[in-house]
Chains A and B, each alone.
Chain A
């Protein structure tokens, strides 16, 4: 059974760097995309970016300059860093795994997330 367990600092001051890690238990680490998705209080979901086991990344253009996702395959972990945080970065942050890695003309498992971490509330406040 695949499980994603995430952790990181929950309270930050403006201008600090948000840092979260997600550990993957069970299943293979290769063959999937690993994503970070966040949800501000009482709002919808925002995809931040993804990485695969080779370290290939794609980021949300609106946050690209502040977001870095990295992977440590030796530990089956991947991490998120968001620099220069403001109150607008206050959100529950989730790590998630895609259903697969590649898309065809009829199916695209890369973009469906079927395993999620428990979520981490990150509050940015002075």
Chain B
């Protein structure tokens, strides 16, 4: 089974800050890595697919990069509505443990 690790597990940043989350796969997964945002009480929302492609309707301040085993998710300018938990995901049961993002 492919295991996904994320860091940090949580972070606090100010509005307007650049926020970066990393995800590492236990095996090479090409660019098949997705990022989701989940707000409390809501279903996850796909933001990035295939490591770097922005899902339709997602603001351009969200971006992703990486391939192989190491991936990065970035919010270029943190907004109050970005408060959420972010998950990386490969296939089947390969969801990362999540990164909780708060406003400082």
Instruction: Give A residues with C-beta under 8 Å from B.
Output: 44-47, 58, 60-62, 94, 96, 99, 103, 105-109, 111-114, 116-119
Measured in the bound complex, the distance between the Cα atoms of B41 and A119 in whole Å is 9
Q: Are B43 and A94 touching (Cβ within 8 A)?
A: yes
Measured in the bound complex, the distance between the Cα atoms of B55 and A75 in whole Å is 28
**Binary interface encoding of chain B residues 37-52 relative to chain A, with 1 for a CB under 8 A from any of its CBs, else 0:** 0000011111001100
Given A94-B43, A117-B43; A46-B93 close (CB under 8 Å) = yes
Q: Are B95 and A44 touching (Cβ within 8 A)?
A: yes
Given A45-B95, A60-B93, A108-B50; A116-B32 close (CB under 8 Å) = no
Give the contact stretch, choosing among B18-26, B75-83, B84-92. B84-92
Q: Which residue of chain A has its CB nearest to the CB of B96?
A: A44
B82 to chain A, nearest CB (A): 19
The A-B contact count (CB < 8 A) is 60
Chain B interface size, as a band, is 20 to 34
Measured in the bound complex, the distance between the Cα atoms of B93 and A46 in whole Å is 6
Q: Are B93 and A62 touching (Cβ within 8 A)?
A: yes
A–B complex contacts, Cβ < 8 Å, 13 sampled: A44-B95, A44-B97, A44-B98, A47-B92, A99-B46, A103-B32, A105-B30, A106-B50, A108-B32, A111-B34, A111-B92, A112-B89, A116-B45
Given A47-B95, A105-B30; A113-B90 close (CB under 8 Å) = no
* Most interface-central of A46, A61, A96, A99 (chain B CB within 10 A): A99
Residues in B with CB closer than 8 Å to A112 are 34, 46, 49-50, 89
B74 at the interface (CB under 8 A from A): no
Given contacts A62-B93, A103-B32, A112-B34, 20 further A-B contacts (CB under 8 A): A44-B95, A45-B44, A45-B95, A46-B93, A47-B92, A47-B93, A47-B95, A61-B1, A94-B43, A106-B31, A106-B50, A107-B50, A111-B32, A111-B89, A112-B46, A113-B36, A114-B46, A116-B43, A116-B45, A118-B43
Residues in B with CB closer than 8 Å to A113 are 34, 36, 44, 46
Q: Are B97 and A116 touching (Cβ within 8 A)?
A: no
Q: Are A45 and B91 touching (Cβ within 8 A)?
A: no
